[in-house]
């Protein structure tokens, strides 16, 4: 399982990216709008080993767990390289 953190400029960008994945196999957590960016965390299923192309432009890399984490999957240990 991989964890990704993303920020979108608009809700429309997020919705387009969301439509490109299986939301039953991947867990999307909407963090909120912070500094005019839509913040989202995703717990990707084990079949996903690299950032999905549609999500890559919105991926962010942070140095800590951030304000949200998936209990058994810490971001720092499970983020994409």
Task: Give the per-residue pLDDT at 71.
Answer: 82
Structure tokens at 19: 């439509």
CA pair distance 46, 44, nearest whole angstrom? 7
Tell me: the pLDDT tens digits for 4-26?
Answer: 999 999 999 999 999 999 999 99
Nearest in space to 62 (alpha carbons), one of 36, 38, 37, 80? 80
| Stretch 14-42: mean pLDDT | 95
Structure tokens at 50: 């690299």
Confidence category of residue 43, pLDDT binned at 50, 70, 90: very high
Residue 30's contacts (CB-CB under 8 Å, 6 or more residues apart) are 38, 39, 40
Q: What percent of the chain has pLDDT over 90?
A: 79
CA pair distance 45, 35, nearest whole angstrom? 29
């Amino acid at each position: 399982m991989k964890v990704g953190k993303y920020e979108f400029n608009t809700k429309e960008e997020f919705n387009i990216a969301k439509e490109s994945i299986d939301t039953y196999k991947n867990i999307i957590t909407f963090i909120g709008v912070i500094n005019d960016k839509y913040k989202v965390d995703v717990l990707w299923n084990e079949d996903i080993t690299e950032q999905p192309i549609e999500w890559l432009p919105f991926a962010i890399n942070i140095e800590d767990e951030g304000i949200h984490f998936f209990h058994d999957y810490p971001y720092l240990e499970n983020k994409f390289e």
